[in-house]
Amino acid sequence: MGETVFAIIGLGLPGFFTYVVLVKRNILIYTKDQTDEKVMLIGLLSLTNVAVILLLLEVFNLEVMSIAGFLIIVGTTLLLTFWIYPFVIRNGRRMLEDHLEKTGQKNRSNIPFMDRIHDGKPAVGGYIQCVFFDFNHTFVESGYLKYYSYSENGFILYPDGQNNLDYAKFKKRFETLDPTEASHMMDFDKEMIIYFINYPNSKSDYDPTSHR
């Protein structure tokens, strides 16, 4: 009986592992308020993993606690986590988004704003400049993005040499940038306007933070 309970617990753990990996890879995205959904999803992943693993063990007539059984558990978990689930979720999401677009329905997403900003950064050697103004258009700070913390809702920046910017001049130059290279976000909690500018390997000659 003890061995059976241990086996059930052991088979349930891969579901949590799968959940963590999918979240880290931004394949699954949940907000802090979606606790119930997270618990249900972990349960579903565990159930699916257990069902697939037990099926394979039954097909190959293997014991859970055997070496071959252990290899089946590990191999199946990795296959589901890194290949099958991502393929199914991404393609399922794409099909749903296409359907919503064709039918004119709203497409709601949990993807955090900063993930969308970071995804817009040039793939090789690129970086993002962040410029902060308050709602009174007073310059607060600017720099190149190093880290962003969701839990602390803060930025760690590399210095960019700017210590004061005129909002009107900056905004005028910012609006001339290609929309694929520039965006801005309104932070109503902190009453901040944050401008994001994507750069390739070397800094662009046309820098909107320049006083020229």
Domain boundaries, the chain: 2-102, 113-199
pLDDT score recorded for residue 125: 54
Tell me: pLDDT of 115 over 80: no
**122, 198 in Cβ contact below 8 A?**
yes
Statement: the pTM of the whole predicted model exceeds 0.85: no
Helix/strand/coil for 181: coil
Given pLDDT bands bounded at 50, 70 and 90, which one contains residue 2? very low
Given pLDDT bands bounded at 50, 70 and 90, which one contains residue 212? very low
pLDDT in tens, 36-77: 778 888 888 888 888 888 899 889 988 877 888 889 888 998
Tell me the mean pLDDT in the region 92-118.
Answer: 75
Helix/strand/coil for 47: helix
Give CA 54 to chain center in angstroms: 32
pLDDT score recorded for residue 211: 43
Query: Nearest 5°: CA angle at 114, between 104 and 163?
Result: 130
Instruction: Please tell me the distance from the alpha carbon of residue 128 to that of residue 172, in angstroms, as a whole number.
Output: 19
pLDDT score recorded for residue 161: 85
Mean model confidence pLDDT for the chain = 80
Tell me the mean pLDDT in the region 186-206.
Answer: 78
Tell me: pLDDT of 159 over 70: yes
